[in-house]
Amino acid sequence: MTSESSPPLGGTVASRDQTTLGWGLGAEGALVAPIGRHVALTLGPTVSYGKVDAFDDGPAALSRAGVALGVRGGVALVL
């Protein structure tokens, strides 16, 4: 009995002899609201982009990219 595996619909499967290359880029901005002499609250939007490529002996066999949007907040200590 022989069985074959197939990739997910519309996708490809990376093999062990492929090399992957990935990178990303992100940016964020923040509004700072002081709530005391040495403490402040921060809040602002974030955006990031990432891409991964898998290479074998031929052209790129697998390429994935994505964009993420979000909001980041925190408490900052001011010196």
pLDDT band at 78 (very low <50, low <70, confident <90, very high): confident
For the segment 65-74, the average pLDDT, to the nearest whole number, is 96
Residue 20 pLDDT exceeds 90? no
Do residues 48 and 25 make contact, with C-beta atoms less than 8 angstroms apart?
yes
Q: What is the domain partition of the chain in residue ranges?
A: 19-77
State the pLDDT confidence band at 54, using cuts at 50, 70 and 90. Answer: confident
pLDDT value for 24: 95
**Spatial distance between the Cα atoms of 49 and 68, rounded to a whole number of angstroms:** 6
